[in-house]
Amino acid sequence: MTKNTLATGLIWLASILVSGVFFWLLSDILIHGLPHLSWSFLADAPKNAGRSGGIAPIIVSTLLILAVAMVTAAPLSLATAVLLSEFTRYDSVFGRLVRRSLDVLAGVPSIVFGLFGNAFFCIYLDLGFSILSGGLTLACMVLPILIRTAEEGLQATPNDYRLAAAALGMSRSAALVHLLLPTATPALVAGLMLGIGRAVAETAALIFTSGYVDRMPDSLFDSGRALSVHIYDLSMNVAGGDANAYSSALVLILILLIINSIAMSLAKHWLHRSDVTV
């Protein structure tokens, strides 16, 4: 057996194991959650501490928290990645300091972000337990992921593209928009999906920032319970809430699949438009 064959076999084995774990978890959630999933479950408000009723306010709160997080983090992370990749030398003191800080932030436990969000957004900025506080806290959490993936995508772009753009008289901003960013789109989308996945599944940070309230929010300054917090509360604190916890987990997975599909479609559309423009 050659080394190449052995390596190929190990790669296939790892892929099968990862896929097997995923399908095992998904099948368990489908078996327990699908029988309780219905339109009324999606459209009604929780009742009896979540044992009955639906999760409509929970879904709305989750989407609002996610929207605040991504609208805040995505532009800031892209601008920072462009600064580090295109306007800062890789071995400069500033670049190394920022990258080291991002690596440290990426490893900080979510509970620490929750305590920070509670102290800064809820208390210092007087936003209280609100969707806005939860979304801004999640934005701080996903920034390292978005910045590092976007930077790696830009750095992986061949330098010949930059030289060709300069030879054609294109400005750096035009080269960035029409050449570099479209080429780095797969990395940008991957980072976005990883960030969304971490934000949607976060629990500890949201308990201290967005709160537990399960009513329909009227504004971003209202408290709102995210799906992850709802699942945790039903499974850990509410006797007889396991059935709705499984159904809520299934809805959370469906939301992630829908968001990822939309992100991939937008990325393909952007790449197609860029090819036509070029």
CA distance 54 to 66: 20
Residue 214 has a pLDDT of 84
pLDDT at 45: 87
> 46, 213 in Cβ contact below 8 A?
no
Beta strand 52-53 with 46-47 is antiparallel
**What is the pTM (predicted TM-score) of this model?**
0.87
Q: What does the pLDDT look like over 88-102, one tens digit per residue?
A: 887 888 888 988 888
Task: State residue 172's pLDDT score.
Answer: 81
CA dist 182 and 65 (Å) reads 28
Helix pair 56-86, 242-277: axis angle to 10 deg: 40
CA dist 105 and 147 (Å) reads: 11
Domains of the chain: 37-277 (1.10.3720.10)
**Quick count: other Cβ atoms within 10 Å of Cβ 55?**
27
Instruction: Report whether 105 contacts 143 (CB < 8 A).
Output: yes
Q: Residue 73, Cα to own-chain centre: how many angstroms?
A: 10
Alpha helices in the chain (DSSP H): 3-33, 39-43, 56-86, 93-106, 110-117, 131-155, 159-167, 172-175, 181-183, 185-201, 204-207, 227-236, 242-277
CA angle, corner 193, sides to 149 and 257, nearest 5?
A: 160
For position 71, what pLDDT does the model report?
93
Can you tell me the distance from the alpha carbon of 257 to that of 261, in angstroms, rounded to the nearest whole number? 6
CB atoms within 10 A of CB 132: 23
Local structure of 184: helix, strand or coil: coil
DSSP string over 142-160? HHHHHHHHHHHHHHTS-HH
pLDDT at 89: 83
Residue with tokens 């992850």: 228
* DSSP secondary structure, 9-60, as one string: HHHHHHHHHHHHHHHHHHHHHHHHHGGG--HHHHHSPEEGGGTEE--HHHHH
Interaxial angle between packed helices 242-277 and 185-201, expressed in degrees from 0 to 180 and rounded to the nearest 10: 160
Span 195-224, pLDDT tens digits: 888 888 888 889 999 988 888 888 899 998
pLDDT in the model for residue 198 = 83
Low pLDDT (below 70) residues in the chain = 1, 267, 269-278
